[in-house]
Structure 1
Amino acid sequence: MFKLAHNGNVLLDTSKSAPASAAFIIEAIEQSPYSECEINHDAINNYFSSATPERILVVATRHNATLSVEISDDKMLATGTLTLAKGGATLSFDEAKKELVKAHVARGYKQAFLEQLLQKQSELPPGSVVSGPLAKGRLPIDGKPTKFNAMVQTLKDRLKAPKLKEDGSVDMRDFGKLASVKPGELLVQQQPATPGKEGFTVLGDVLPAKPGEVHTLIAGEGTEISKNNPMELLSTIAGVPVEINNGMRVDDIFTVNDVSVKTGHIDFEGSVIVSKNVEPGMRINATGDITVFGTVESGELTAGGDITVKQGVIGHQKPEDKSLSCRIICAGDVHAPHSQYCYIEANNILLERQASHSSMKAKSTIQIGQSELPKGRLFGGEILDATKLIAGEIGNESGAKMVINLAASATEMTKEIDKSFSELTATNEQVDSLQAALEKADLIKDADKKNELINKIGTTQLHHSQQAEQLEKQVAGLEQKLNTLLDEAILTVNSVLHSDVEIHIFNKLLKTTRNFPPSSVKLENNKIEIEFKT
């Protein structure tokens, strides 16, 4: 009844036997070998509605399975879209692979992807359209930076682990035996940076990986790099290991019960441990860390490392000049439960519960409160400088004056930028004037004098050109540092920000006129903005 043409059309010769109806033709096709072909309903219906019906009627068309390959915009994924056959031939594995070649897929191809897609030909109805990944690119994996593994317990590690009593409670005054090392003991094992692993697109483009940042193992005082293994840091003296950036130092330790009039002021090359308290009017100066297990009352502590006070720092305002009687200053971090009428200056200032009527200055962060969501209170006094300030509650209802300065160091930075830029302008002017002098020297008729003068001027010009290049780099570096500082300057409040709090970020000012819920305050479009937390 039906005949298959070379072009895949299924034909019906109506001259031999006119079909009774469209339904008759469709039923006949469905019971024929061409049942899976695409029925041409329009042609069939037109035959019965036409005054002059065609003698040879195209009732269906056979379609072979086809595969199209699409490459994503980022070239990281090749997706295959398979249209299943309608009465035609299924797509073979080799034919499908040719389509991948035509699409220029070069890497990330997996045979399993293609097999899974082609398997749908035996699972889905004829003519179904199904898609799936055929090749996947790989993003580069950046290298890991140099890592320094501490092989001994440091003083800071020890202070984080107070002893447990027999009843299960914690003895906050007993931290066990002091961590110490012997000469020749391994302190730090360096783990080299890794180069990373390059990535690729499905078209074969290489995506280079960023190598891990390389850092040099630093031998602090009392240590040395091993002569047998440059990846190892060894102690050269007996003492307490203290972690520094990219290495360690070993300090001798001075231990005393109380710092009072009986002991006198302490000035020590190394670290100092005070088992009890620092009494009013006493001073400690140490090149290493200072640890006080009791309180510091109206004392002065200065350290080249960290300062830890386990029971808090307390002072008062001196009547003669309104200055604060307690001063804590260090190059590292300050750790204490609370501060009252105290001046604190450090890299980071970390207070567990509260800071009242204190003046604080940090190169990086001031945090009032514990854990990942600090809820400590900050009121009265002044934040002289910090990049980040985090607290639970800032200010109070009593109206105690509270002034906060973030990114205050940016003022000095801008002065330094202006100074360097002025020097750069002057240097460029000197280079230009020397160029004019060179052109005049070229007019001298005496060859010897001309060459001598040209060489002299040229040497001076080269010096100023190199100086200008250095100044350009200096200005660019300072501007980048300034932009980073202003971008990172932020005040985070986790409970409430009270009214009448003055907030300065660089040269901008915001004074709160009402209470704010948990929020963050930072510079946005050269203006201080408050954003509520969700």
Structure 2
Amino acid sequence: MFKLAHNGNILLEVAQLNPPNAAFIVEALEKSPYADCEVDHESIEAFFKSDHPEKHLVVAKKVDAQLSIEVSDDKMIATAHLVTAKGGAKISLEQAKKVIIKAGVSRGYKQAYLEQVLQKQFELPPGANTKGIIAKGRPPVDGQAAKLIPHVTTLRERLKQPKLREDGSVDMRDFGKLASVAPGTLLISKQPATPGKEGFTVTGDSIPAKDGDTFELTAGDGAEISASNPLELIATIAGCPSDIQNGMRVDDVFTIGDVDVRSGHVDFNGSVIVTHNVAPGMKVKAKGDITVMGSVESGELISGGHIDVKQAAIGHVDHQNNDQGLTCRLVAAGDIHVAHGQYSHLEANNVFIAKQSNHCAIKATSLVQVGADDAPKGKLIGGEILDAQMVIAGEIGSESGAKMTVRLAHRGIEITSETDECLKALTKTSEQLNTLQSAIEKADQVKDAEKKKQLMAKIGATQMHYCEEAEVLEKKMSELELNLNGLLENTKLVANQALHPGVEIHIFDRVYKTTRSYPPCSASLVENKIEIEFKTS
């Protein structure tokens, strides 16, 4: 009834069967050995409509399995799309591999993945569509940053561990023996950064990876890089270790109960621990850290390290001072930590106030944070932020609308001024170069060869000097621009609970004044304008 032609068509001898309709042919085909073949409905329908039908009718055809490869836009995934055969030949493993190579897939290929796809030819019905991943790229893995591994307890860490009394209570003023080290003690070691692991796409392209960030190990006073291992820092004197940027130092430690008229001012070359309070009018100056277990009242602390006041820093406005200065002043090269600040000048790299700031003047290189947890809820009331890159608090300002000024990225104005000076200098340099060019043209007209040679050499040397000067100025301007962009991109004010009226926000050279209370929000510079963005819960 049915026979297979050389071209893969399935033919029906019409005279032998004399089919009454198309349905009869299809039903007969489904019961034949060619049931899996693709029915040619168009040919069958044409037969019954024709006035002169053919003796041999094409009723179906064998269709081989089809395999195509799709590579994702990022070239990280190659997917095989398979259409199972309709009575035709299945795709062999070797044929499939050729299709993969032709598609440009050269890395990340797994034969097991391909075999899983091809196996579907024996499981799915004829003409079924299926797909499966046959190759995966490898994303790059950035290296891990270098890090410091401390081997001793620092002074700051020791002061977080007050001594337990026999009854189980804690004596907040007794910390037992301080963590002292002897000369030669290993203080800290540097774990080197690891290199990044290169990635690749399925088409064979390499994806570079970033090596881990690194830094130079820094030996502060009383410490040195080990002669036997450049990744280790050892003590050179006996004393208490303290953290510094990328390293440690070792300080002598001076401990005193109260700083008052009986003790006099304290000026010490190491670190100072005040186990009680700093009285009004008293000064403590230290090259290292200053830790006050009690409070500071109208006193002055100047530290080459960090300042930590466990209770309050409290002052008042000095009415005898024309600048309306504040009587309590804390200045640190590192960070300042206080529980509560009131009418105090606080100046440091980062300023952390655990509970509340009332009418303080605060200046920070980086961060001012009021509140102790990850989402600070402390109150920043009145006073002025003289400069900072970021301010985070629960509430900023007061409900009464009392005026308060917050200046962020104020250093940007200094950067802009410095850029302007560079531009002026560059303009003068360009003018000098133009003048020299005119001088060269005149010198070229000198007829005396020796004199012309001397003039050209002199002008050339001067030209070289100004070219080098211009290059230095251009490089400096580029660095200043990068510094300014980096500063402004990371500048933000964050109020986790409320931003009240009367707050005058300065970011760089832009100003925004709040006239009402805002719910949780942040303020930042967007397209040279201060924008308030409200937080979504």
Partner of 2:178: 178
1:256-267 to 2 correspondences below 5 Å: 256-267=256-267
For 2:182, what is the secondary structure of its paired residue? coil
Partner of 1:346: 348
1:226-265 to 2 correspondences below 5 Å: 226-265=226-265
Of 459, 462, 480, the match for 2:461:
459
TM-score (norm: length of structure 2):
0.96
Partner of 1:494: 496
Residue 167 of structure 1 deviates from its aligned partner by: 6.5
Partner of 1:410: 412
How far apart, CA to CA, are the structure 1 residues paired with 2:149 and 2:159?
19
How far apart, CA to CA, are the structure 1 residues paired with 2:79 and 2:404?
60
Partner of 2:335: 333
1:421-500 to 2 correspondences below 5 Å: 421-500=423-502
Partner of 1:92: 92
1:154-169 to 2 correspondences below 5 Å: 154-163=154-163
Shift in alpha-carbon separation, 1:249–1:45, aligned structure 2, 3 A: same
Say if 2:402 and 2:501, in contact at 8 Å, map to a contact too. Answer: no
Gaps of 5+ in 2: none
For 2:441, what is the secondary structure of its paired residue? helix
Tell me which amino acid in the other structure corresponds to 1:523.
Answer: L
How far apart, CA to CA, are the structure 1 residues paired with 2:301 and 2:279?
11
How far apart, CA to CA, are the structure 2 residues paired with 1:4 and 1:496?
83
Residue 47 of structure 1 deviates from its aligned partner by: 2.5
Partner of 2:145: 145
For 1:433, what is the secondary structure of its paired residue? helix
More deviation in 486-495 or 35-44?
35-44
Residue 55 of structure 1 deviates from its aligned partner by: 2.1
Shift in alpha-carbon separation, 1:306–1:21, aligned structure 2, 3 A: same
Partner of 1:419: 421
For 1:310, what is the secondary structure of its paired residue? strand
Q: Does 1:221 align with 2:227?
A: no
Q: Does 1:513 align with 2:510?
A: no
Shift in alpha-carbon separation, 1:401–1:167, aligned structure 2, 3 A: farther
How far apart, CA to CA, are the structure 2 residues paired with 1:444 and 1:207?
60
Tell me which amino acid in the other structure corresponds to 1:282.
Answer: M
Tell me which amino acid in the other structure corresponds to 1:344.
Answer: L
Partner of 1:383: 385
For 1:474, what is the secondary structure of its paired residue? helix
More deviation in 239-248 or 372-381?
239-248
Residue 220 of structure 1 deviates from its aligned partner by: 1.2
For 2:16, what is the secondary structure of its paired residue? coil
Residue 290 of structure 1 deviates from its aligned partner by: 0.6
Residue 104 of structure 1 deviates from its aligned partner by: 1.6
For 1:424, what is the secondary structure of its paired residue? helix
Residue 164 of structure 1 deviates from its aligned partner by: 5.4
Partner of 2:59: 59
More deviation in 290-299 or 200-209?
200-209
For 1:16, what is the secondary structure of its paired residue? helix
For 2:421, what is the secondary structure of its paired residue? helix
Partner of 1:371: 373
Residue 297 of structure 1 deviates from its aligned partner by: 0.6
Residue 213 of structure 1 deviates from its aligned partner by: 2.7
Tell me which amino acid in the other structure corresponds to 1:513.
Answer: T
Tell me which amino acid in the other structure corresponds to 1:281.
Answer: G
How far apart, CA to CA, are the structure 2 residues paired with 1:190 and 1:230?
9
Say if 1:357 and 1:381, in contact at 8 Å, map to a contact too. Answer: yes
Shift in alpha-carbon separation, 1:177–1:14, aligned structure 2, 3 A: farther
How far apart, CA to CA, are the structure 2 residues paired with 1:217 and 1:112?
49
More deviation in 232-241 or 132-141?
132-141
How far apart, CA to CA, are the structure 2 residues paired with 1:280 and 1:494?
35
How far apart, CA to CA, are the structure 2 residues paired with 1:9 and 1:175?
96
Residue 130 of structure 1 deviates from its aligned partner by: 1.3
More deviation in 54-63 or 491-500?
54-63
More deviation in 414-423 or 453-462?
453-462
Tell me which amino acid in the other structure corresponds to 1:454.
Answer: M
Tell me which amino acid in the other structure corresponds to 1:96.
Answer: A
Say if 2:399 and 2:517, in contact at 8 Å, map to a contact too. Answer: no
RMSD (CA atoms) = 1.6
Residue 7 of structure 1 deviates from its aligned partner by: 2.1
Say if 2:2 and 2:13, in contact at 8 Å, map to a contact too. Answer: yes
Shift in alpha-carbon separation, 1:163–1:85, aligned structure 2, 3 A: farther
How far apart, CA to CA, are the structure 1 residues paired with 2:53 and 2:127?
29
For 2:127, what is the secondary structure of its paired residue? coil
TM-score (norm: length of structure 1):
0.97
Partner of 1:194: 194
How far apart, CA to CA, are the structure 1 residues paired with 2:190 and 2:393?
36
How far apart, CA to CA, are the structure 2 residues paired with 1:434 and 1:162?
73
How far apart, CA to CA, are the structure 2 residues paired with 1:169 and 1:375?
29
Percent identical among aligned pairs is: 58
Which deviations, in whole Å up to 9, do the C-alpha atoms of 1:160-210 show, x marking residues without a partner?
444556666655434453222111111121222222111111111112222
Say if 1:65 and 1:84, in contact at 8 Å, map to a contact too. Answer: yes
For 2:17, what is the secondary structure of its paired residue? coil
Partner of 1:527: 529
Residue 358 of structure 1 deviates from its aligned partner by: 0.6
Residue 250 of structure 1 deviates from its aligned partner by: 0.9
Say if 1:342 and 1:357, in contact at 8 Å, map to a contact too. Answer: yes
How far apart, CA to CA, are the structure 2 residues paired with 1:220 and 1:198?
37
Shift in alpha-carbon separation, 1:357–1:64, aligned structure 2, 3 A: same
Say if 1:384 and 1:404, in contact at 8 Å, map to a contact too. Answer: yes
Which deviations, in whole Å up to 9, do the C-alpha atoms of 1:456-495 show, x marking residues without a partner?
2211211111111010010011011111111111100110
How far apart, CA to CA, are the structure 1 residues paired with 2:268 and 2:139?
53
Which deviations, in whole Å up to 9, do the C-alpha atoms of 1:64-123 show, x marking residues without a partner?
111101222222221111111111122111111111111121111112221221122222
For 1:311, what is the secondary structure of its paired residue? strand
Say if 2:254 and 2:270, in contact at 8 Å, map to a contact too. Answer: yes
Tell me which amino acid in the other structure corresponds to 1:451.
Answer: K
Say if 2:64 and 2:87, in contact at 8 Å, map to a contact too. Answer: yes
Shift in alpha-carbon separation, 1:222–1:40, aligned structure 2, 3 A: same
Say if 2:109 and 2:202, in contact at 8 Å, map to a contact too. Answer: yes
For 2:209, what is the secondary structure of its paired residue? coil
How far apart, CA to CA, are the structure 2 residues paired with 1:160 and 1:25?
92
Which deviations, in whole Å up to 9, do the C-alpha atoms of 1:125-144 show, x marking residues without a partner?
22111122111112222222
How far apart, CA to CA, are the structure 2 residues paired with 1:58 and 1:174?
102
Say if 1:145 and 1:215, in contact at 8 Å, map to a contact too. Answer: no
Residue 236 of structure 1 deviates from its aligned partner by: 0.6
Tell me which amino acid in the other structure corresponds to 1:327.
Answer: R
How far apart, CA to CA, are the structure 2 residues paired with 1:226 and 1:479?
39
For 1:434, what is the secondary structure of its paired residue? helix
How far apart, CA to CA, are the structure 1 residues paired with 2:168 and 2:207?
55
How far apart, CA to CA, are the structure 2 residues paired with 1:214 and 1:353?
36
Which deviations, in whole Å up to 9, do the C-alpha atoms of 1:240-260 show, x marking residues without a partner?
111112211111111111111
Partner of 2:505: 503
Residue 211 of structure 1 deviates from its aligned partner by: 2.2
For 1:183, what is the secondary structure of its paired residue? coil
Partner of 1:362: 364
How far apart, CA to CA, are the structure 1 residues paired with 2:384 and 2:335?
19
For 2:32, what is the secondary structure of its paired residue? coil
Gaps of 5+ in 1: none
How far apart, CA to CA, are the structure 2 residues paired with 1:122 and 1:312?
79
Partner of 1:4: 4
